Amino acid sequence: MMPSLTIAKEREFIMFKGSLIKILITSAAGQPMQEVMEARAVPGKGLEGDRYYSDTGQYSAKPGSGRQVTLIEIEALEAMKDETGIELQAAEARRNLVTCGVPLNQLVDKQFQVGEVVLRGVRLCEPCIYLEGMTQPGVRTALVHRG
C-alpha cells in the first residue's frame, strides 16, 4: 500500500499566498464532477475516488503523464467570462483542484505543497475537444495556457 496524504479544502499553498477553494472528483469519464471537502492523495495514482485514480478517465488509456491531479485557477474562469462571455462553473472545467491567488503556470517543473501534500507540476493541462464537447464552443480556445 502506498502512503497517502489528505488534501483538504481551504488549504494554503506553501510557495504562494493563495488558497485551494474547491476539490472536485468524479468516478467515471463523462460524469459530473462532485465537490468534496477533502480527498486522499496517493502517490502515482491521484485522488482516491477520481476517474484517473481508477484508470477510468477519458484519457486513461492514452500514454502521457500529469493526469493524477489537475488544477485550474478560479481567475482563469473569471477571465474567460470577462473576455468571451463564456461562463463555466468550476466543476464544469473538469479539474480536481480549483485555486485562488496561485499562478499555476509558474508551477510547471516545480514541486509545491498544498496543505501537507507535495505535488510536482508536470505540464500545463491544456483544454481538449472533449471538454469543449461537454460544455460549449469556444471553451477550448478561451482556456488555452490557463491551468
What tens digit of pLDDT does each residue of 80-137 get? 999 999 999 999 999 999 999 989 998 898 888 888 888 889 999 888 888 888 899 9
> Which of these, 95, 96, 78, lies nearest to 87 by C-alpha position?
78
**Number of compact structural domains in the chain:** 1
pTM: 0.84
> Which of these, 85, 76, 84, lies nearest to 127 by C-alpha position?
76
- Say if 93 falls within a structural domain: yes
Domain of residue 57, residue span:
5-142
- pLDDT-derived band at 32 (thresholds 50, 70, 90) equals very high
- Say if 147 falls within a structural domain: no
**% of the chain with per-residue pLDDT over 70:** 86
- pLDDT-derived band at 62 (thresholds 50, 70, 90) equals confident
- Say if 121 falls within a structural domain: yes
- Say if 11 falls within a structural domain: yes
- Say if 113 falls within a structural domain: yes
pLDDT for 141 beyond 60: yes
Pairing of strands 71-73, 97-100: parallel
- Say if 30 falls within a structural domain: yes
CATH number at residue 54: 2.40.33.20
Q: Is 99 exposed, middle or buried (0-12, 13-18, 19+ CB in 10 A)?
A: buried
- Say if 34 falls within a structural domain: yes
- Say if 72 falls within a structural domain: yes
Residue pair 71/130 in contact by the 8 Å Cβ criterion: no
